[in-house]
Structure formats: C-alpha cells, structure tokens
C-alpha cells in the first residue's frame, strides 16, 4: 500500500506547463469549477485564483475539475487561474506539533496572528512548523545498521513529557551510510543517509503524509486495556478500551463539550488530539484559553505539553471543516507509530456531516436522508476505522482511541448521523435532556448507553482492581433497571403501595444515582476518581443495599434504614482525597456493620422471650390486645 501511495504522489509531483494551470469557469460558494486541468488527479491540491487559495480536486470530468476551496471564495471570478501543486492534501509531521493550535488544514493560528493579525486573511501562507528552530537530536542507530520503515533513527525531546521518535518514513529502507552525531538540527536538516538498491536517500526529521490515507501498520489487535477516564459512570458501567471508538450524542446543553474536556484532561493517554470541528467560537475560545493553563494530573506539567489542538469553528470555511477530522486522525496516527497511546476527541461529527451536506448540495448530488449525501456512512467509517490498537512496524505497539461527539437536532437519536455512527462505534454514551434538566451531570443515560468492550476489559479490572468488578456492575445495573420499572408503578399508585423491599430498592438506587453516577467536574477532588476508588465506592453502596434487605427480613423498617447515620458518610465518599480514601472506606464499612448490628439488637430487645416456651414474641399494643379479646 505504501508503494502505491508513493507512486501516486510521484505521478502528481511534476505537472507539465500545459497541464499545470487552468481557468475558473464557475463559482458556487466553496465549490469552484475549472477547465484545462487534464492530468489532475482526485484529491490533488490546487491554488485557486490570484490569491492562491488552497483547494482540493473532488470531481473530474475530462479536463474540467470540481474543486472544494478551504478558504472564503468571496470576490473570486471566472477567468482567474488555477494552479496544480502535484500532491494530495498532506500534513507536515515532525517535532513541533505538540502545543500547536492549527486550523482544519494545518495552518498554525498563532503564526497567522503574527503574520496577518487577529483575523485570518485569505491566501495567507504560514509554515505549519517552525523550520528555523533547532532540536537536540540523539541518534539511536549506527553506520552500517540495516533499517526499514518504522525503525527509530533518533530521539528528540519535543516537550518535557513527550520524546519524539524520528522514524524511517513509510516505504524507505536501506543501510545507514551516514548518521549525524548528537547535536542541534532543524527539521529540514539531513540527519541520516540511507543506501539501498535505488541509490542514496537523505532523511530529515520531517515527513509528509496525505490526510485521507491511513498510515501503514502490521496488524490490528483486539483491545484489552481500559482507557481510564476518571469518570465513574464511564469507567465502571460503560468502559472504553484503548484503541476503541465511542460516540457521545446529546441535545443542546447536555454536556458533550464538558465530557470531552474531562476526557482530554484526565484520560491516561500519552497524547491528546482535540479537534473542534464546527463548534461555536465561544466554546472553542474557552478550550484555547483553558488548555494552556491546565495542569496535567499525570505529570504535573501543563496539559498542552502532550496536546495538539485543531480549531475549525462554525464561522470558518466549511470545506476546511470537512478536512479537519482527517487532519486530526493523521497527527494521531503519527504519534501512534511512535508507540504512544493517543486519544482523539472530535467535537462534533454532526457539524462535520453538515459540511459534507453543504458541499454535496453545491455539487448538485442526489441527496440522501435529511439531505445528507448518500456516502455519509462510508465517510464516517473511513474516519472511525482508523482507530485501533496496532502492532506497528519497528516492533512497537500503539493505539488511537476515538471519541466523537454527535449533536442531533432536537436531541433526536434517530437522525442519520447518530444512527450511522452507532453502526460503527463500540461504545455509546447517550446524554439525556431530562437528566440535564434535573441537574444530573454527567447526563449519561445508564439505561440507553452501552459498551461492547465489557468482556475485553474484564481481565484488566480483575488484574488491576478487583475480580468481582463484573458481578458488582451486573448487580448494580439490575438495581437501576428495577428502579426504572418501579417508578412507573409509583406514578400510578404511589410509593406506599409498594412492599418494603421495593421501597428500599428505590432508596438504594437513589443513593447510587446521586452519590456515584453524578460527578462534579469542577470539584477539586471529585473531578477524577481512580478505578480502585470507583469499585470500593460502589461495593459499599451495594453492601448497604444487600445488608439492608437482610435487616428488612429481620423486621427493621424502611424508615429506620432511611434514617441511618452512615448514609451521610456514604454520600461524602466521592470527596475523599486519593491518599485518604482507602483508610476512610474501611472505617465506613466497619461503622455501617456496627450500625446494622445495633438495629438488630434493638429489634431483639423489643421482642421479649417467653419464659415458658423460650420463643420470642412481638409485644402487642393495647389496641391490638383489645381487638384480640373481642
């Protein structure tokens, strides 16, 4: 596959003078038609108009090419030139990507501000990476070594938390004829010379790779390790495996962006790629403002030291929005190839699908359901299928976990983007508007959501946390489902008509809802909950429920159980700091057992023993005695 890609790119590299320039004949928003482009190939990048706007060929008919332009086309007119560049839309991959903020086609926003001011000027040309900065390169091979695609030539400390591994580019191999010594070099300097049957090849720290083509791997593996997020409802009930795919659909205000922020900050991924695709400018501004100030909880360094941001807001050109998710996944694949676990957040794929719909309409294509193009499902799949945990060239293993937010209109999960996403992803975190209205956050609906990775991650839970995780989760889900069934009965006949065991089940389920499933993203301690703490919190809550059922059988009333002092301490478990929770949980469990024993002892005292028979009798009130005599 690598050879086919290289051959395709090489064919595009040197367009002849006759083939190199066309003329605009039609303009329809971001879609431009140009003739005299015979020889152009699909997805080739071209420069449109006098200002050289970046565009991509998306349709060919004889010598007429249809081009989607990644910049505003206002003022462009027929007759202006269109020049071929000879390559598909590609990214520059080298040290310096981390901490950058790009638009959808890898233009650095900070560099644009320095070049053109606060507003992105059309046709502005800024290098994606700092080509003058020198990086300290430490070679990992010696002259005479045989290397091939994926082998590490050297290491650069990109940030204090990320070592950038300079790899042999895809499709390259040979004997190391020259390798530079330890020193400082720019990304364009030659750091190695490889000798092979085709001659000598100079290798620098910079690679280029087309965004719509997945980088080559050896094979995909079955996920087995959980991506720890620190969010109780996700990790315990609907876990996502490293290398997995998840969707977060929800209506307006249900908290999709807050969950994405929490995942970006707290997930135990090595690298985070956050793609703001078509979201409102104020939300993206908050991300750009907050991320540089956030502290990475795993390293203590600023969070941006392991983060790449791609910002393509709703007021930016629509065609660049369509490319932004592929730019993000290409950067993620690059760091995956180094052996890192990468988490990619796409917020949101609905806005990306709307960009597809707009461009499809301009092309006058036959619309599918709700106006989306007929190829919506295949385009979504081409994005999500690039996730996975992979065995890589260079004898390494890396993963990409993709979490895509979906913004269905009116919160309707039956719309095409949500439904097509559900057919692809393995984890579904459904956000519920009713939970949002009740101020229950994260508003993940535990009755609708699901994870298909339960069996795969159960071994991880058993080895790293506790062997009873799966059974504990199963019993808790049964209780929550029972609560949903009982609530329908309560609405008809009221809670007093239920037997004591069902009344107590409602109370126990409420404890789990309010004290476990809810989590305060802005609380210093509760914002993150370790898997061990999650398990023991739930264990204590379910132990209270099971012990309470036994107490009911002994004659304890539901009201007595509801007024137990231990409930207040159980409700505060989520606020115990990491260094204290284990000691405090043991104390709570001990106090809970003591209080249950006291309830049972008080029950025995209120039931005196008959001296003659030795049997315990429950004492009767005066009214009951008179009724018996009558």
Task: Give the domain-ending residue among 67, 88, 109.
Answer: 88
Give percent of the chain above pLDDT 70.
92
- For residue 542, being part of any structural domain is answered with yes
Handedness of CA 190, 195, 201, 207 (dihedral sign): negative
How large is the average pLDDT for residues 505-527? 94
CB atoms within 10 A of CB 381: 15
Do 400 and 445 fall into the same domain? yes
C-alpha span between 144 and 205 (Å, rounded): 20
Do 529 and 587 fall into the same domain? yes
- For residue 108, being part of any structural domain is answered with no
Q: Using one digit for the tens of pLDDT, what is the confidence trace for 125-164?
A: 889 999 999 999 999 999 999 999 999 999 999 999 999 9
Do 161 and 190 fall into the same domain? yes
Do 306 and 364 fall into the same domain? yes
Q: Is the pLDDT of residue 612 over 60?
A: no
Q: Which of 222, 256, 221, 268 is nearest to 453 (CA)?
A: 222
Q: Using one digit for the tens of pLDDT, what is the confidence trace for 585-597?
A: 999 999 999 999 9
C-alpha span between 276 and 353 (Å, rounded): 14
| pLDDT in the model for residue 110 | 84
Q: Is the pLDDT of residue 571 over 80?
A: yes
CATH code of the domain covering residue 190: 2.40.50.100
Q: Which residues contact 224 (CB under 8 A, 6 or more apart)?
A: 241, 456, 457, 459, 460
| pLDDT in the model for residue 121 | 72
| pLDDT in the model for residue 503 | 95
Pairs from 198-206 (Cβ < 8 Å, separation ≥ 24): 201/172, 201/174, 203/153, 203/168, 203/169, 203/172, 204/94, 205/94, 205/95, 205/135, 205/137, 205/156, 205/166, 206/92, 206/93, 206/94, 206/129
Q: Is the pLDDT of residue 607 over 80?
A: no
Handedness of CA 252, 103, 404, 291 (dihedral sign): negative
- Token pair recorded at residue 220: 């995909």
Q: Using one digit for the tens of pLDDT, what is the confidence trace for 46-97?
A: 999 998 999 999 999 989 999 999 988 888 999 999 999 989 999 999 999 9
Residue 597 contacts residue 566 (beta carbons within 8 Å):
no
C-alpha span between 86 and 41 (Å, rounded): 9
Do 336 and 478 fall into the same domain? no
Do 358 and 405 fall into the same domain? yes
Q: Is the pLDDT of residue 619 over 60?
A: no
Round the average pLDDT of the chain to a whole number and report it.
89
**C-alpha distances out from residue 537 to 293, 339, 369, 469, 534, Å:** 31, 34, 45, 12, 5
Task: Give the domain-ending residue among 55, 72, 88.
Answer: 88
Q: Is the pLDDT of residue 572 over 50?
A: yes
pLDDT tier, 14 (very low <50, low <70, confident <90, very high otherwise)? low
Do 325 and 416 fall into the same domain? yes
Helix (H, G, I), strand (E, B) or coil at 115: helix
pLDDT tier, 614 (very low <50, low <70, confident <90, very high otherwise)? very low
Helices 318-336/349-362 angle, 10° precision: 130
Domain that holds residue 196: 135-205
How large is the average pLDDT for residues 36-46? 91
Peptide bond into 319 cis (omega under 30): no
- For residue 126, being part of any structural domain is answered with no
Do 363 and 311 fall into the same domain? yes
| pLDDT in the model for residue 112 | 82
C-alpha span between 26 and 30 (Å, rounded): 11
For 397-432, the DSSP string reads: EEEEEEEEEE--GGG-TTSHHHHHHHTT-SEE--B-
Helix (H, G, I), strand (E, B) or coil at 214: coil
Give percent of the chain above pLDDT 90.
68
Which residue has better confidence, 108 or 317?
108
Q: Is the pLDDT of residue 8 over 60?
A: no
- For residue 303, being part of any structural domain is answered with yes
Lowest mean pLDDT among 32-46, 169-183, 299-313: 299-313
pLDDT tier, 1 (very low <50, low <70, confident <90, very high otherwise)? low
| pLDDT in the model for residue 618 | 37
pLDDT tier, 630 (very low <50, low <70, confident <90, very high otherwise)? very low
End-to-end CA distance of the chain: 96
Task: Give the domain-ending residue among 88, 123, 146.
Answer: 88
Q: Is the pLDDT of residue 376 over 50?
A: yes
- For residue 581, being part of any structural domain is answered with yes
CATH code of the domain covering residue 549: 1.10.1140.10
Q: Calculate Rg over the CA atoms of the chain.
A: 30
| pLDDT in the model for residue 312 | 85
- Token pair recorded at residue 29: 């928003």
Do 187 and 244 fall into the same domain? no
Q: Which of 255, 298, 245 is nearest to 519 (CA)?
A: 255
Which residue has better confidence, 473 or 255?
473
CATH code of the domain covering residue 378: 3.40.50.300
- For residue 286, being part of any structural domain is answered with yes
- For residue 623, being part of any structural domain is answered with no
Do 325 and 425 fall into the same domain? yes
Which residues, in sequence order, are bridge partners of residue 450?
428
Cα 130 to its chain centre, rounded Å, is: 28
Q: Provide the domain count of the chain.
A: 4
Do 302 and 357 fall into the same domain? yes
Q: Using one digit for the tens of pLDDT, what is the confidence trace for 221-249?
A: 999 999 999 999 999 999 999 999 999 99
Q: Which of 292, 352, 365, 270 is nearest to 318 (CA)?
A: 352
CATH code of the domain covering residue 60: 2.40.30.20
pLDDT tier, 292 (very low <50, low <70, confident <90, very high otherwise)? confident
Lowest mean pLDDT among 181-195, 398-412, 591-605: 591-605
Q: Of how many residues is the chain composed?
A: 630
| pLDDT in the model for residue 81 | 95
Do 540 and 393 fall into the same domain? no
Which residues, in sequence order, are bridge partners of residue 427?
246, 451
- For residue 302, being part of any structural domain is answered with yes
């Amino acid at each position: 596959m690598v050879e086919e890609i290289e051959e395709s790119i090489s064919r595009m590299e040197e367009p002849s003078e006759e083939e190199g320039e066309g003329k605009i004949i039609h303009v329809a928003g971001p879609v431009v038609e140009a003739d005299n482009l015979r020889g152009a190939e699909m997805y080739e990048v071209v420069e449109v108009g006098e200002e050289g706007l970046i565009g991509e060929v998306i349709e060919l008919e004889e010598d007429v090419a249809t081009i989607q332009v990644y910049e505003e086309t206002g003022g462009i007119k027929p007759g202006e030139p269109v020049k071929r560049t000879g390559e598909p839309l590609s990214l520059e991959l080298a040290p310096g990507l981390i901490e950058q903020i790009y638009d959808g086609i890898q233009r650095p926003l900070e560099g644009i501000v320095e070049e053109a001011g606060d507003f992105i000027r059309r046709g502005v040309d800024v290098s994606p990476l700092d080509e003058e900065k020198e990086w300290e390169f430490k070679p990992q091979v010696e002259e005479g070594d045989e290397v091939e695609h994926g082998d590490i030539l050297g290491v650069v400390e990109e940030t204090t938390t990320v070592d950038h591994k300079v790899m042999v580019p895809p499709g390259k191999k040979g004997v190391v004829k020259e390798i530079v010594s330890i020193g400082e070099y720019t990304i364009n300097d030659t750091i190695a010379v490889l000798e092979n049957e085709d001659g000598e090849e100079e290798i620098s720290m910079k690679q280029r790779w087309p965004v719509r083509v997945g980088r080559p791997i050896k094979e995909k593996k079955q996920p087995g390790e959980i991506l720890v997020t620190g969010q109780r409802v996700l990790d315990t009930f609907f876990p996502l495996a490293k290398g997995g795919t998840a969707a977060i659909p929800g209506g307006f205000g249900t908290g999709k962006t807050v969950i994405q922020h929490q995942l970006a900050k707290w997930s135990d991924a090595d690298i985070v790629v956050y793609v703001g695709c078509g979201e409102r400018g104020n939300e993206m501004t908050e991300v750009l403002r907050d991320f540089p100030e956030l502290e990475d909880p795993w390293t203590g360094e600023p969070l941006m030291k392991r983060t790449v941001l791609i910002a393509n807001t709703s007021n930016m050109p629509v065609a660049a929005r369509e490319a932004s998710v592929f730019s993000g996944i290409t950067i993620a694949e690059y760091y995956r190839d180094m052996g890192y676990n990468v988490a990619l957040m796409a917020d949101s794929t609905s806005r990306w699908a709307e960009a597809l719909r707009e461009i499809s309409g301009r092309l006058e294509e036959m619309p599918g359901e709700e106006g989306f193009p007929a190829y919506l499902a295949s385009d979504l799949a081409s994005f999500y299928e690039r996730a996975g945990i992979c065995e890589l060239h260079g004898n390494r293993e890396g993963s990409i976990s993709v979490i895509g937010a979906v913004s269905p209109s009116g919160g309707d999960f039956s719309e095409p983007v949500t439904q097509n996403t559900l057919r692809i992803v393995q984890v579904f975190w459904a956000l519920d508007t009713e939970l949002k209205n009740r101020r229950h956050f994260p508003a993940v609906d535990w009755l609708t959501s699901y994870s298909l990775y339960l069996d795969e991650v159960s071994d991880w839970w058993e080895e790293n946390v506790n062997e009873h995780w799966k059974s504990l989760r199963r019993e808790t889900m049964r209780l929550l489902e029972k609560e949903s069934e009982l609530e329908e009965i309560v609405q008809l006949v009221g809670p007093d008509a239920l037997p004591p065991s069902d009344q107590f089940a409602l109370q126990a389920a409420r404890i789990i809802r309010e004290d476990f499933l809810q989590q305060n993203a802005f609380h210093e301690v509760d914002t993150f909950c370790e898997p061990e703490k999650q398990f023991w919190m739930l264990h204590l809550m379910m132990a209270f429920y099971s012990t309470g059922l036994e107490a009911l059988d002994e004659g304890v009333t539901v009201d007595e159980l509801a007024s137990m002092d231990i409930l207040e301490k159980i409700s505060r478990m989520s606020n115990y700091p990491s260094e204290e929770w284990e000691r405090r949980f043991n104390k709570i469990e001990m106090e809970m057992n003591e209080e249950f024993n006291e309830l049972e002892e008080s029950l025995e005292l209120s039931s005196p023993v008959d001296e003659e028979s030795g049997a315990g009798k429950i004492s009767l009130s005066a009214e009951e005695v008179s009724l018996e005599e009558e």
